Amino acid sequence: MAEWLAGLPLGETVVVGWSLGGMLLLETLVDTGWQPAAVILVATPASFCQRPDYPLGQPPAMVRAMRQRVRRDAGGVLRDFALHCLAPGEEQFALAITSFFTFRASRQTHLLEGLDYLLTKDLRPKLAQAPAGIALLQGGIDQIVDVPQAFFLHQHLPGSRLFLLPGAGHAPFLTQPEAFHTILRQIISGS
């Protein structure tokens, strides 16, 4: 991620990270000290998994079970994940979301690495060093990264702003594009 970001004019660039990508983006920005024009994290947790001192997030056993299942049914794991991205009432987006998560055998290693990252990475110690003013967009009915995780991140990121999209699941850019884009325009314009 750092190599990719290094090639951008960061002072003029708005960067958006979603879920695992948001965690990677946040970690990279803290580790490099870079400050883009704006940072937007969508459905991004500080820690994807619960920890003894962090009751939020998914149970680690669930992520380990997904990891084991990847070896025999990676396509099924991705399909199930995609469908869990949808909140109740968003079922009409099932075909669209599952098409984003098609499995290619050549990417199995990347999928396993991503699950390992989600299982082990805890960004809480880095949050105070994050760029100021990060915008957080969160679906109000996200079953993967729930609202309490967004509130935690908001409380621990300096100067952050939290935008909730009521009725949206884990992929509000797909299921509520008009509301999502309205918020993006508001963030980019600085209002």
Domain ranges of the chain: 2-189
**pTM, to two decimals:** 0.95
- Answer yes or no: are the C-beta atoms of 170 and 84 closer than 8 Å: yes
- pLDDT confidence of residue 66: 95
Mean pLDDT, rounded, of the chain: 94
Q: HSE-up of 76 (CA within 13 Å, CB side)?
A: 9
- pLDDT confidence of residue 4: 85
- pLDDT confidence of residue 139: 98
Query: What is the per-residue pLDDT across 90-136, written as a single tens digit (0 to 9) for each?
Result: 999 999 999 988 877 778 899 999 999 999 999 999 999 999 999 99
- Higher pLDDT among residues 11 and 89, named by residue: 89
Q: Where does the chain have alpha helices with state H?
A: 2-6, 20-32, 60-84, 94-100, 108-120, 147-156, 172-175, 177-189
Query: What is the per-residue pLDDT across 10-19, written as a single tens digit (0 to 9) for each?
Result: 888 999 999 9
User: The domain at 2-189 falls in which architecture?
Assistant: 3-Layer(aba) Sandwich (3.40)
pLDDT band, very low/low/confident/very high, at 5 (cuts 50, 70, 90): confident
Sign of the torsion angle spanned by Cα atoms 13, 121, 142, 62: positive
pLDDT band, very low/low/confident/very high, at 191 (cuts 50, 70, 90): low
